[in-house]
C-alpha cells in the first residue's frame, strides 16, 4: 500500500486523493465494526426504530443485533425506542430477548432512561424485571428514583407518577448519589412539595 501511495503522490494529487477515498471508507467501516459492532442489518434496525417503523423492526429478529449500539445514535436499540416513547417497539424488543440491563451511552440502563418518558414504558420495564435500583455507572451515580425527582412536568413539578411507581416496586428511598444526595433531599432542593410529601410518607412506612 505504501508503494501505491508513493506512486500516486508522484503523479497527481487529485488522483492520489481519489484513490485513497475507498481505503479511508474501508478503514472507517472496520473501525466502526470493532468499536460499535457496526453492521448493515443493525443500522437498518436502528433506522426503523428511529422512524417508528414497526414492520421493519419485526423483520430484524436477530438477537445478536439487539444488544449492540447503533453507530449513528451511539445508543442501544432498546434505549432508542424508549427515547422515542414507542411502547410497541419496546415491547417487541423485550419479547425478542433484549438485555434489559444493558447500559446506554451515558451509563444508564433502560429503566433509568425511561424515567421522564412514557409512564407505561416504565411499568413495562419493571414488569419485565428491570433492576429498580440500578444506578448510573458514570457521573452522578444516581438511581432512577433520584432522577424521577428531577423530571419536571410543565416546568414546575416532579413526575410524581414515576416516583409512586418506583416506590411501589421497592425503590431504595435512602440511596444516595455520588454527592450524598437522596431522592428526598433532591426534592427539597427543587422545593417540590408534592414529591417531598410523597417521599416522606413512604419513608415512614
CATH number assigned to the domain comprising residue 148: 1.25.40.20
Residue where one domain finishes, among candidates 99, 116, 142: 99
The Cα 49–Cα 100 span in angstroms is 17
pLDDT tens for 23-66 read 665 555 555 554 444 457 777 788 888 888 887 787 766 555 67
Q: Which residue has the cell 417531598?
A: 196
Torsion of CA 6, 12, 15, 18, to 10 degrees: 70
Q: Are residues 110 and 85 in the same domain?
A: no
Q: Are residues 95 and 115 in the same domain?
A: no
Residue where one domain finishes, among candidates 99, 120, 140: 99
Q: Given pLDDT bands bounded at 50, 70 and 90, which one contains residue 153?
A: low
Q: Are residues 184 and 114 in the same domain?
A: yes
Residue-wise over 11-35: b if at least 16 C-beta within 10 A, else e? eeeeebeeeeeeeeeeeeeeeeeee
The Cα 17–Cα 75 span in angstroms is 33
The Cα 129–Cα 179 span in angstroms is 28
Looking at every residue in the chain, the average pLDDT score rounds to 80
Q: Are residues 111 and 25 in the same domain?
A: no
Q: Are residues 47 and 126 in the same domain?
A: no
The Cα 158–Cα 77 span in angstroms is 27
Q: Are residues 117 and 55 in the same domain?
A: no
Q: Span 170-184, mean pLDDT?
A: 95
Q: Are residues 17 and 62 in the same domain?
A: no
Q: Are residues 188 and 164 in the same domain?
A: yes
Residue 51 vs residues 44, 61, 83, 176: alpha-carbon distances, Å: 10, 17, 12, 37
Q: Are residues 175 and 120 in the same domain?
A: yes
Range of the domain at 173: 104-205
Q: Are residues 153 and 141 in the same domain?
A: yes
pLDDT at 27: 56
Number of domains comprising the chain: 3
Mean pLDDT is lowest, of 3-12, 83-92, 161-170, for 3-12
Instruction: Map the chain to HEC letters.
Output: CHHHHHHHHHHCHHHHHHHHHHHHHHHHHHHHHHHHCCCHHHHHHHHHHHCCCHHHHHHCCCHHHHCCCCCCCCCCHHHHHHHCCCHHHHHHHHHCCCCCCCCCCCCCCHHHHHCCCCHHHHHHHHHCCCCCCCCCCCCCCCCHHHHHCCCEECCCEECHHHHHHHHHCCCCCCCCCCCCCCHHHHHHHCCCHHHHHHHHHHHCC
Q: Are residues 91 and 2 in the same domain?
A: no
pLDDT above 60 for 94: yes
Q: Are residues 144 and 161 in the same domain?
A: yes
Amino acid at each position: 500500500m505504501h508503494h501505491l501511495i508513493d506512486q500516486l503522490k508522484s503523479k497527481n494529487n487529485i488522483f492520489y486523493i481519489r484513490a485513497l477515498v475507498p481505503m479511508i471508507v474501508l478503514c472507517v467501516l472496520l473501525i466502526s465494526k470493532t468499536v460499535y459492532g457496526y453492521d448493515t442489518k443493525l443500522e437498518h434496525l436502528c433506522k426503523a426504530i428511529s422512524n417508528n417503523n414497526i414492520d421493519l423492526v419485526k423483520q430484524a429478529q436477530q438477537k445478536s443485533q439487539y444488544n449492540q449500539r447503533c453507530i449513528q445514535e451511539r445508543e442501544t436499540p432498546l434505549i432508542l425506542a424508549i427515547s422515542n416513547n414507542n411502547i410497541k417497539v419496546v415491547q417487541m424488543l423485550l419479547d425478542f430477548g433484549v438485555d434489559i440491563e444493558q447500559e446506554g451511552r451515558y451509563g444508564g440502563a433502560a429503566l433509568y432512561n425511561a424515567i421522564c418518558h412514557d409512564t407505561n414504558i416504565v411499568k413495562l420495564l419493571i414488569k419485565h424485571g428491570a433492576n429498580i435500583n440500578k444506578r448510573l455507572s458514570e457521573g452522578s451515580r444516581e438511581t432512577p428514583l433520584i432522577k424521577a425527582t428531577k423530571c419536571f412536568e410543565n416546568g414546575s413539578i416532579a413526575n410524581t407518577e414515576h416516583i409512586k411507581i418506583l416506590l411501589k416496586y421497592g425503590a431504595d428511598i435512602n440511596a444516595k448519589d455520588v454527592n450524598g444526595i437522596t431522592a428526598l433531599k433532591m426534592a427539597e432542593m427543587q422545593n417540590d412539595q408534592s414529591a417531598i410529601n410523597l417521599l416522606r410518607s413512604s419513608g415512614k412506612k
